[in-house]
Amino acid sequence: MIKPMKIIFYSLAILLFIGPVFLLVLQSFTEVWQFSAGQSLTFQLDSYSTLVSDPNIMEATFWSLVIGACVLVINLVIGLLSGKALSSSSFKGKSLLEALFLAPILIPVLAIAMGLHLFMIRIGLADTWTGVVLIHLVPTLPYSIKIFHNAYHQFGNHLLEQAEILGATGFRQLHTIELPLLKPAIRSVTFLTIVISLSQYAITAIIGGGRIITLPLVFFPFLQTANTSLMAAFSVWFALLPFFMYLVVELLLLLLPYTRKPWRNLR
Amino acid sequence: MKSYSSKLWIHLTPALLFLILPFFGIITAVRHSIFADEGFTLNFYQELFQSDRFFSSLAFSIRTSIIATALAIMIGLILVRLFHPYLAKLSPRISVWLPMLFPHFVWGYLVILLLAESGLFAQVLSAIGWIDGTNHFPILTRDPYGFGIIITYVWKEVPFVILMLLPVYAAIPTTSYDVVKTLGGNRWDQFKTVEWPHIQPTLIETCLIIFSFTLTAYEVPALIGTTYPEMVSVLSYQWFYGGSWDERPLAFVVMVCVSIVIFMIALTSYLYLNRRRMRAMRGRL
């Protein structure tokens, strides 16, 4: 028997979330829709070949990936360290510190970027990709710290204490206990960080000074000139980058112990 | 574990160093708003408070953000309540989180693609004859009422609300529901006495995050908003990058005012939650 609630759920999910994305992908593979003129769908791949052959977009993709990867690595390192510290000990003012780590989400990042702009010029980080990486940490790191804190909290201190008593070094604990257990957290942080980093137009423009061109900086001017199919392809392109990054991270996670290696099952 | 406590501050140092970035940034923004070449001044605030453009923009922004936040929270909450048993499985969860793969402004573009006057819905409706021509379709993007902005944000934030609330709902023990049922409570009693105390802190936190984001983010209103009335972020960005150097301090003042609004709301909710927690600890809930 199929439950009616299940049907309602899937109809809603298709209507609200899957359907729109499907239409976006469909538009990227078809000519501009003119149903009112009585035309039907015509499939094409021109929008993607235009996209891939545009040197601006390819360069912006490269820089978005470089910046996204750096932001991700810093997020993972700092998130892991502080998540561990926050969950493994209790001290006075801990709840205040947790609130402080979360606070940057609530402060307008536009105000922060404007405020840091002159300072970045003075220390020579304005108009550089390093400066852009730094400013992208502001909207991402609070989430990562929270995610890692929750993850460490969930598997508790006992496992790490056991390893400590048995004489494992910090690195060995990290490699054989923490990282394998943190896999879901690492995956979430990867997706969130890359998507947030790809979402920043204003602060990238301010700190990058128009010299560091990432994908959003190409997307906005494109809107005035490009046709609907090309814009749809460009939109899909945005969603492909997190997948690419996820794939890279997933491959690196295969190096961890206790992972079922896919090639082992191949005959 | 003594080694933990000695390592604690070493582990926390990078995160504490990171905090310098946002806090130094906002403090510098405040400084730029109250210091001119000749020293301390409140002229920029005076100038801004005489500007109708600012007040209409602030009112429009707050109204738009409140509507977007309230709708996103309500829809997200209803969806989680109804479907959290299904959402425990991976593939339904991924289908709901699909919009989170896209940046906000890309989702804004999707809204334009579907709901603009020449968009898919208008074309389909006019092709099947529900409306006479696409120009009879209601203007939902780049409109003066902020419909486009609200639609984009609600659509994009509902998955976020689900993401935040799902673990909370999964942690509510089912036996609590049975207690309410045994005592003769209805579904509303279940929500009020079992779910509400569990979800309230997360719900308020989610509310704050979405409200402050929608109030101050630049990308979506720049893409799908109109020139008048404009969101404060767009106004501030224009003044920051505008032709005239004189307008730059005003950009800072706008951002500082908005930050104060957010800070007051955050502080109120923090104190409210804390008071509740204190009362709960004393057993007087």
Cα B252 from chain centre: 21
When the pLDDT of each residue in chain B is averaged and rounded to a whole number, the result is 89
Cβ contact A141–B255 (<8 Å): no
> B80 with B167: CB under 8 angstroms?
no
* Res A258: pLDDT: 80
Q: What is the DSSP string of A186-222?
A: HHHHHHHHHHHHHT-SHHHHHHHTTTS--HHHHHHHH
Fill in the amino acid letter for B247.
E
* Res A33: pLDDT: 82
pLDDT, tens digit, for every residue of B182-228?
Answer: 898 888 888 888 889 889 999 999 999 999 999 999 999 999 988 88
Locate the chain A residue with the closest alpha carbon to B114: A20
Locate the chain B residue with the closest alpha carbon to A27: B113
Per-residue pLDDT band at B159 (split at 50, 70, 90): very high
Q: How far is B284 from chain A (nearest CA, A)?
A: 23
Cβ contact B99–A114 (<8 Å): no
Residue B81 has pLDDT above 70, yes or no: yes
User: How big is chain B by its Cα radius of gyration, in Å?
Assistant: 23
* Res B283: pLDDT: 64
Angle at B252 between CA A203 and CA A200, to 5 degrees: 10
Cα–Cα dist B191/B194, whole Å: 6
Interface test with B, best of A8, A21, A24, A106 (most B CBs within 10 A): A106
A115 contacts: CB under 8 Å, gap ≥ 6: B24, B25, B26, B27, B28, B29, B30, B31, B32, B252
Cβ contact A107–B259 (<8 Å): yes
The ranges assigned to domains in chain B are 41-277
Angle at B134 between CA B131 and CA B135, to 5 degrees: 100
Q: Where are the beta strands (DSSP E) in chain B?
A: 35-36, 39-40
Asked if the C-beta of A156 comes within 8 angstroms of chain B's C-beta atoms, the answer is no
Fill in the amino acid letter for B273.
L
Interface test with B, best of A29, A35, A241 (most B CBs within 10 A): A35
Question: What secondary structure letter does DSSP report for A30?
Answer: B
Cα–Cα dist A200/A129, whole Å: 14
* Res A104: pLDDT: 93
Q: How far is B219 from chain A (nearest CA, A)?
A: 6
> A126 with B31: CB under 8 angstroms?
no
Q: How far is A7 from chain B (nearest CA, A)?
A: 11
Ordered by where they begin, the domains of chain A are: 1-44 (no CATH), 47-265 (1.10.3720.10)
| B41-277 CATH | 1.10.3720.10
Q: What does the block give as tokens for A159?
A: 């496992």
Per-residue pLDDT band at B1 (split at 50, 70, 90): very low
Locate the chain B residue with the closest alpha carbon to A38: B127
Locate the chain A residue with the closest alpha carbon to B116: A228
Question: What secondary structure letter does DSSP report for B39?
Answer: E
Chain B residues with beta carbon closer than 8 angstroms to that of A23: 110, 113-114, 120
- How many other β-carbons are positioned within 10 Å of the β-carbon of residue B241? 14
Chain A residues with beta carbon closer than 8 angstroms to that of B155: 16
How many secondary structure helices (H) and strands (E) does chain A include? Answer: 14, 0
Across the interface, which of B12, B29, B92 has its CB nearest the CB of A9? B92
Residue B235, classed as helix, strand or coil, is helix
Angle at B236 between CA B21 and CA B217, to 5 degrees: 65
Q: How far is B52 from chain A (nearest CA, A)?
A: 22
What per-residue string of b and e applies to B84-97 under the rule 16 or more CB within 10 Å gives b? bebbeeeebbebbb
- pLDDT, mean of each 10-residue run, chain A (267 residues): 80 92 93 74 87 93 97 97 88 86 93 94 94 97 95 86 87 88 93 96 94 94 88 95 94 85 63
Cα–Cα dist B196/A149, whole Å: 24
What per-residue string of b and e applies to B204-214 under the rule 16 or more CB within 10 Å gives b? bbbbbbbbbbb
Cβ contact B98–A232 (<8 Å): no
Cα–Cα dist A160/A88, whole Å: 9
Q: Which helix (H) or strand (E) holds B193?
A: none
Q: What is the mean pLDDT of residues B104-119?
A: 92
Asked if the C-beta of A65 comes within 8 angstroms of chain B's C-beta atoms, the answer is no
Sign of CA dihedral A193, A196, A201, A205: negative
Cβ contact A235–B109 (<8 Å): yes
Locate the chain A residue with the closest alpha carbon to B32: A115
Across the interface, which of B30, B208, B219 has its CB nearest the CB of A202? B219
Question: What secondary structure letter does DSSP report for B144?
Answer: T
Cβ contact A115–B27 (<8 Å): yes
* Res B259: pLDDT: 95
Locate the chain A residue with the closest alpha carbon to B264: A106
Cβ contact B82–A5 (<8 Å): yes
Cα–Cα dist B162/B156, whole Å: 11
Cα–Cα dist B10/B249, whole Å: 39
Backbone torsions φ then ψ of B186, nearest 5 degrees = -95, -170
Cβ contact B255–A202 (<8 Å): no
Q: What is the pTM of this model?
A: 0.92
- How many other β-carbons are positioned within 10 Å of the β-carbon of residue A161? 13
Q: How far is B94 from chain A (nearest CA, A)?
A: 10
Chain B residues with beta carbon closer than 8 angstroms to that of A235: 102, 106, 109-110
Chain B residues with beta carbon closer than 8 angstroms to that of A91: 5, 8
Cβ contact A242–B105 (<8 Å): no
Cβ contact A235–B102 (<8 Å): yes
Locate the chain A residue with the closest alpha carbon to B240: A114
CA distances from A137 to A69, A142, A145, A169, A182 (A): 12, 8, 11, 30, 21
* Res A264: pLDDT: 66
Residue B36, classed as helix, strand or coil, is strand
Q: What is the mean pLDDT of residues B76-105?
A: 90
Q: How far is B193 from chain A (nearest CA, A)?
A: 24
Which residue's structure tokens are 């704050």? B208
Q: What percent of chain B has pLDDT over 70?
A: 96
Chain B residues with beta carbon closer than 8 angstroms to that of A202: 218-219, 222, 233, 237
- Give bridge partners of residue A43 from the DSSP assignment: A30
Question: What secondary structure letter does DSSP report for B35?
Answer: E
Residue B284 has pLDDT above 60, yes or no: no
* Res B125: pLDDT: 84
Backbone torsions φ then ψ of A50, nearest 5 degrees = -60, -45
Fill in the amino acid letter for B87.
L
Chain A residues with beta carbon closer than 8 angstroms to that of B223: 220, 223
Question: What secondary structure letter does DSSP report for A262?
Answer: G
Residue A251, classed as helix, strand or coil, is helix
pLDDT, tens digit, for every residue of B121-130?
Answer: 888 888 887 8
Q: What is the mean pLDDT of residues B218-244?
A: 90
Sign of CA dihedral B169, A186, A146, B106: negative
Across the interface, which of B82, B102, B266 has its CB nearest the CB of A239? B102
Cα–Cα dist A188/A195, whole Å: 11
Across the interface, which of A33, A111, A235 has its CB nearest the CB of B123? A33
Q: What is the end-to-end Cα distance of chain B in Å, rounded?
A: 36
Cα–Cα dist B25/A108, whole Å: 10
Alpha helices by DSSP H, listed for A32-157, are 46-53, 55-88, 94-102, 109-122, 129-155
Per-residue pLDDT band at B285 (split at 50, 70, 90): very low
Q: Which helix (H) or strand (E) holds A157?
A: none
